[in-house]
Structure formats: structure tokens, C-alpha cells
Chains A and B, each alone.
Chain A
Amino acid sequence: MTELSKTGAAVGEPTSASPAPNSFLEVRDLKVHFPTDDGLVKSVDGLSFKLEKGKTLGIVGESGSGKSVTSLGIMGLHTAGQYGKRKARISGEIWLDGTELLTADPDEVRKLRGRQMAMIFQDPLSALHPYYTIGQQIVEAYRIHHDVDKKTAKRRAVEMLDRVGIPQPDKRVDSYPHEFSGGMRQRAMIAMSLVNNPELLIADEPTTALDVTVQAQILDLIRDLQKEFGSAVIIITHDLGVVAELADDILVMYGGRCVERGPAEKVFYEPRHPYTWGLLGSMPRLDREQQERLIPVKGSPPSLINIPSGCAFNPRCPYADIPKDDVTRTVRPELTEVGGRHWAACHMTQEQRERIWTEEIAPKL
């Protein structure tokens, strides 16, 4: 098992256990398992990827594919504040700017949180403390990592609110989260995340709880801020439209594993995994001829306790019987390079997939 997942690395050169990664962020064979009464929930099961500064990685997958668990794992939020017996079991390596986070002293990781890596959450109303003003919360975030007085920190908070486009920031800084609209709250959340100029920003479904009209504004904001600060950004979403707009690279997750990864245009225009095809087919598109109906991915997401043997996608895959000897149901497919920096994990041959994509899938989209 370990051997398999070790080689299940995502991109570029094969990874080894040796350190000294030259990427800004490198995740190697990350596993996050939760023991429950029903068994071990393998939320993330051997995930590897790299991310450079100034680049955006979009992690895509349906609910329960392990996207959020991955991001919380990088932030070290599975281990911080775990009370009671049931603790997450995390293994693998997470290298952030030369520091391995899983073996580092928890207090050192805490100091990196908020300063070097920050996070934007899905629902800003529940992610902001209802009893403190926006200003107080931003000031707190700033003062954890900067030894300044409250006045200076508040000036900084106003500056950040102004930067993310909140009108009258010197007044709104004293407002409470419930006095903001949804879009404003997410802007405030972004201001809070960026107050310490983090080099890694993780946005976990940043627009899911927002109006469609506000979504585009928030995405523009994230893109602008990334250009300005030059940080590395991970966007986690189930919405391919969101990553199409922002991401340089796309990583498609299914059942806690990476099934396809590559540059955004490759994954969009030459996808090489049936699950990615399914995602694309279920996405509404305006730039196409009027479509009869969207094509959903049939079936439901796999149980993370009993992940299907072989390819996790095989029960839902219309092409599961193409490879010979029932190999889809017995052998877990490895990520193999299908083009420049483009990897996919499927038992079908390259030629078979290329043919199906160009002849059957692409014309229907």
C-alpha cells in the first residue's frame, strides 16, 4: 500500500522520502484518516502536489472528495484543538518554504498560521466571530504576528478593508459581521487573511455561499491581490467555472486521491480521466450551442470507509469494462504522464482515452 501510494505522486519528477524540495509548497503522499465507530475514514489517501509562489492551484472535486480536509491538513488544523479521543491520523510530508509541517513543533506551526499561510473559509458569516467587530478580529490577527499597539494595528485593518474594496473602511471597521452583506463579509474575511501578507493563501470554496454576481467580484479580488502580493494560492471548489477563471494548475480529486492533474488549459481542453469528463459534462456553459440537458455523473460519491477496490471511480465509470482482465476493479491505477506536466490515473490506454474524448465527449459539451 505504502509503496503504491508513494509512487502515486502527482506531478513532475518522482518523489522520494528525501527532503530538500525546491518548490515553495510540496505535499508528499499526504494521508488524513479519521477513526470512527464504523471504521477508518480515509478522507485523503496519498495525495502529492507542488505549488510555486505566484501560482494558483485549483483543487476540484465533489463533496467528500477530500478537498477541505487537505487544506485543513496543510494549515495544521486537524491537530490543533483536537479534544477527546478521536484524533485525525495524518501521515506524509508537507513542505512549506523548507519547513516540514507535520513533524515541526506544533507551536512553530501555529506561528506560521496566519502569517505565512492563511485561509479563507466558505461561509464568512459563520467563520467570523459574531461578538467581535470586523476591526477587532483583523486587529487580533495582525497583532498575533506583529508587535504593534492597537492603534497601529487598527490603521492597518482600515487599510486592508480599503484594499479589498469596502467603502468607508474607517467607519465599517467598527461594524459587526452581521451588519455586513455576504459579499462584504467575504471581503472582510479576505482582508483578515491577507493582513499579514501570507505567502500561501488557501481559499476553501470562497464563493459558494455568495450571490452569483458577487462571486465574480470576489474572484477578481483574489486574483488582483495575488498579483499584488505574489503569494501562492490554492482554490478549493466544486465549481469548475471558478478554477477556469483563476487557476494555473488544476488537481481533480476523487475519493481522497488525485485522479488528474495538469495545467488548467490541458485539463479543460484535453482531459484524460473519465471523472473529469463527467465534471465537464455536468457544468453549464453559455458559450456553447443551446444544450438539451446537463449530463450528471451517475451514481454517488464513494464511501471513504470502503473505497472501491481498483480504481475508486470504477462503479460510476461508463468505460470501466474497456481495460482487459477486470483490471479496473482489482488494481489501483497510477498517475501517469499523458502530456507535458499533465498526469492522469486511468487504466485505459492513452489512445483509447484520446479517442473517447474527441469522438464521444467533446462534441457533446
Chain B
Amino acid sequence: MLAYLIRRLFAAVVMLVVIVMVVFGIFFLVPKWAGVDIAASFVGKQADPASVEAVREKLGLNTPIYSQVWEFFKGIFVGRTYSGGGDVTHCAAPCFGYSFRSEQAVWPVLTDRFPVTLGLALGAAVLWLVFGVAAGVLSALKRGSLWDRGAMVVALAGVSLPIYFTGLLSLAIFAFGLKWIDAQYVPLSQSFGGYLGGMILPWITLAFLYAAMYARITRATMLEILGEDYIRTARAKGLKEQVVIGKHAMRSTMTPILTMLGMDLGALIGGAILTESTFNLPGLGRAVLDAIRNQDLPIILGVTLITSLAVLLANLVVDVLYAVIDPRVRLA
């Protein structure tokens, strides 16, 4: 088990290094090939050549690409000093550089916005796991019934309807129509009630989409598992049907659900762009959307790295859990 864990961790670190290099390549090399001058886009459209040159030197854009990657890596772990163009700026570790637009350091932007996205993803995940899995199990046990058909139609709707439709609809009804809640984001540190009020609609909207997918997967998996020989064995032992389903069948059903959860959570933590835009939540998704609009490369780079890290971590956790659930995986 320990060897398995170490192997997985090592693989995750290697993966992260590769991702940094690829992302760096995409964001700093591609503009070069495409003939877009990063330094010029940093300074602005009506910049004089001298200041563009100064920026180029300060950001180290005139050095070879490998030394730029190295500087970037170094910056993350030990900080980085930008000099040139007259002034000297020290960026403490972890340094992800400065936003081209606001000139703020990227790292505080990320740490500011990360909790919002994390809260959104985790809250929604709890909702969709509870309701999606429950609906899926019930549908499987009552296969072909009115409940099953109804639940699967709702699930189909959930999968097909885009977030900006269900999100806006829920906003229109509950926030503006019935005025039940004030759909305004309030940080958790300020007011718990306000936080809940601001997050409840985003949670439900996001969870609706995922609950639909999870219900369908759960139903299909559960139906398959119920046909397994070892379920028949469990009944032959004289186990109560609740235990047969709740213990023996559920444990096997959880495996694919867990795999999906790892990937979905990882991707969502990188920014639920649609949900955050619809509900005006100041999370990573909004940050990256604004950054793309403004060609703010350092922010995009930072968010991408956070996303990759989140996906990797989530998958690592899932892999470990997987090994805990399924003893056969430990040998692999």
C-alpha cells in the first residue's frame, strides 16, 4: 500500500513538471511564433519602443526559452527578482509573476479566488452525490416503474440543459421573482448566512447537472452489480435485502462513481467558468475568463497550473481511495 502510494505520488510530481513546461510553451512560445509581441501587449498599444524593450528585458523575454522556464520554476519555489528598465521588483515565493493588466502579483489573486471556487465545487459535489446516487439506486431497484422513467427523464433534462439556462432560470424565479434569497456572493468569513444565501443557487444549479449524470451512472452500475453472482451469494447467506443492497451492492457501485468524482471535482476546482459567470461569483473561473479576454497571460498560466494541480491531486486521492475500496487494485 505504501509502495503504491509512493509510486502514485512520484508519477504526480513528474506529471506536474511536464504540465508546467507544456503550459509555459503554449503561453510564451505560441505568441512568439504567431508574431505577437508579449512585451508589447504588456505595455499597451501605443507604447514607445524604448519601454517595450525595457519590459522585454525585465520579464526576461529576450533570454532563451529554457532559461525562462527555469526562472519561472525558480520563482515558484524561491521567489524571483525582476530587474531592468531602471527599477528592481522582488516577487516573493511562490511567485507566478504579475498580471499584465492590474500589475498585481498573480499568487494573491489565485489564493483570493481559490476558496470561492473550492466552496462552490465541494458544496455542489455533496448535493449531487447525495441526490444523484440516491436517485440512481432507487431507479435501479424500481426498474421500469413510473419513478424510474420519471427520474431518468429529469436526469436527461439535467444533462442536456446548459448551466446558463438553468442558472438564469433559478435566479429569475428564486432571487428576482419570489425574492426568497439575495443572490449576492458574501465571503464565508463575513457572514455564514449570507454565504449560504449567495451559494445555494449556484450549488443547486451545478449539482443538478452533475446529479443527472451520476444518477444515470449509478443506475446502470447498480443494475449490473445486482446481476452479479456474489449478490446472489449474499442473499443465500440469509442477509436482509437492505444489507445486500446497502453493503454488498453499494460498495461495488461506488467504484466507478468515485473515479468520476475525482475527475469532475478536479476540473471544477480549476474553475466552474459557466456557473461563476452566471452567478457573478469571484472565483478562478471568472478570473481566467477575464484574463483570456484581456490577454493576461500570467493569470491564465497561474490558473491553468492550479487546475492541473487540482486534477492531479483529486485523481491521486481517488486512486488511493480506489485501492482502499478494491483490494485487487493494490497489486497492480
Are B328 and A130 closer than 8 Å at their CB atoms? yes
Report how many residues on chain A are interfacial, defined by Cβ distance under 8 Å: 32
When chains A and B are docked, how far (Å) is the Cα of A123 from the Cα of B229? Answer: 8
Q: What 0/1 readout, one digit per residue, does chain A (118-146) give for beta carbons within 8 Å of chain B?
A: 11010100111111010000001100110
Q: Does B237 contact A (CB under 8 A)?
A: yes
When chains A and B are docked, how far (Å) is the Cα of A77 from the Cα of B145? Answer: 22
Residues in A lying within 8 Å of B, measured CB to CB: 72, 75, 77, 80-81, 83-85, 110-115, 118-119, 121, 123, 126-131, 133, 140-141, 144-145, 176, 178, 192
Residues in B lying within 8 Å of A, measured CB to CB: 140-145, 226, 228-241, 244, 248, 251-252, 325-328
B256 to chain A, nearest CB (A): 14
When chains A and B are docked, how far (Å) is the Cα of A111 from the Cα of B239? Answer: 8
21 A-B residue pairs with CB within 8 Å: A77-B235, A81-B231, A83-B143, A85-B144, A112-B238, A114-B237, A114-B239, A121-B229, A121-B232, A126-B230, A127-B233, A128-B233, A129-B251, A130-B230, A130-B328, A131-B251, A131-B252, A141-B237, A144-B238, A145-B238, A192-B237
Main secondary structure of the interface of B (DSSP, over half): helix
Total A-B residue contacts, Cβ distance less than 8 Å = 82
Residues of B within 8 A of A131 (CB): 251-252, 325-327
A104 to chain B, nearest CB (A): 14
Contact A130/B238 with A81-B231, A121-B233 known, Cβ cut-off 8 Å? no
When chains A and B are docked, how far (Å) is the Cα of A118 from the Cα of B235? Answer: 10
Are A77 and B232 closer than 8 Å at their CB atoms? yes
Are B327 and A176 closer than 8 Å at their CB atoms? yes
Residues of B within 8 A of A133 (CB): 327
Residues of B within 8 A of A178 (CB): 327-328
Are A75 and B144 closer than 8 Å at their CB atoms? no
Contact A113/B238 with A83-B140, A84-B143 known, Cβ cut-off 8 Å? yes
When chains A and B are docked, how far (Å) is the Cα of A113 from the Cα of B243? Answer: 15
Residues of A within 8 A of B231 (CB): 81
Are A119 and B236 closer than 8 Å at their CB atoms? yes
When chains A and B are docked, how far (Å) is the Cα of A84 from the Cα of B140? Answer: 8
A269 to chain B, nearest CB (A): 35
A73 to chain B, nearest CB (A): 13
Contact A113/B237 with A83-B140, A84-B143, A176-B327 known, Cβ cut-off 8 Å? yes
